[in-house]
Amino acid sequence: MELIPILISIIKTWWFLIPIAILVAIVKTPWFKGFIGEAMVNLGSKIFLSKDEYHLIRNVILPTENGTTQIDHIIVSRYGVFVIETKNMKGWIFGSPNQKTWTQKIHRYTNTFQNPLHQNYRHVKTLETTLGIDSNKIHSVIVFIGDSTFKTEMPDNVTYAGGYIRYIKSKTEAVFSDAEVKTIVNKIASGRLTPSFIASREHVRHVRDIVRKKRP
């Protein structure tokens, strides 16, 4: 019996498994995990933060002296500007604010990754320059999405999922007027690169160049 007729017969019998297999493959990709992480932050912001007081700006790509930097989410309010970096990871997470790298451990598997506080520091400094405001009015927030557990004590601005909402709401002292909030939102909108495929592609190319230059 020829192979092709056998394959056709199998496909006709089990065709409904094909879209399921494709869906499972997509769900396991880093892109999808990142998408879910960002969606959870977006949804949490819309549900638990008043849109009249907190202004969410997503996927902001800002030009820098050395290229570009991409910020997952920025929330602007009278209580400060919150720069949010999302991490979709599982397993045990070890780290401290001053360490260059943190550690992820899943059973016998161990992986190191850049300290997200350091990673977000560049975003904060870029915004500080772009907006021309004091650094103490800009807050770095790291949100871990996924089945992860902190095994070392983390600062208040490193949270799980909805914990970032509590952190944001813990800032109750107004540091901007309503007019200043509007100005900041407009500055970010006018200073950002268009969140298009071209801008994202340029950012990815810039990141790859940095990685290549760091290689021995």
Q: How confident is the model at residue 25 (pLDDT cuts 50, 70, 90)?
A: low
Residue 193: DSSP 8-state: B
- Collapsed DSSP state (helix, strand, coil) of residue 158: strand
Q: What is the average pLDDT value for the chain, to the nearest integer?
A: 81
**Cβ(152)–Cβ(103) below 8 Å:** no
Predicted local confidence at residue 197, as pLDDT: 41
CA atoms within 13 A on the CB side of 208: 6
* Terminal Cα distance for the chain, rounded: 56
Q: What is the mean pLDDT of residues 107-117?
A: 94
Return the minimum-mean-pLDDT range out of 19-28, 112-121, 158-167.
19-28
pLDDT one-digit tens code per residue, 138-150? 999 999 988 889 9
pLDDT one-digit tens code per residue, 122-169? 999 999 988 899 989 999 999 998 888 999 999 999 998 778 999 999
Predicted local confidence at residue 182, as pLDDT: 95
**Cβ(161)–Cβ(40) below 8 Å:** yes
Please state whether beta strands 109-114 and 138-145 pair in parallel, antiparallel, or not at all (unpaired): unpaired
Q: What is the mean pLDDT of residues 166-177?
A: 95
Compute the radius of gyration of the chain from its Cα atoms. Answer: 21
Predicted local confidence at residue 84, as pLDDT: 94
pLDDT score of 198 more than 50: no
Return the minimum-mean-pLDDT range out of 10-19, 41-50, 93-102.
10-19
pLDDT score of 216 more than 70: no
DSSP bridge partners of 84? 73, 141
User: Both tokens of residue 50?
Assistant: 């008043």
Sign, Cα dihedral of 122, 188, 137, 42? negative
Q: What is the mean pLDDT of residues 178-203?
A: 73
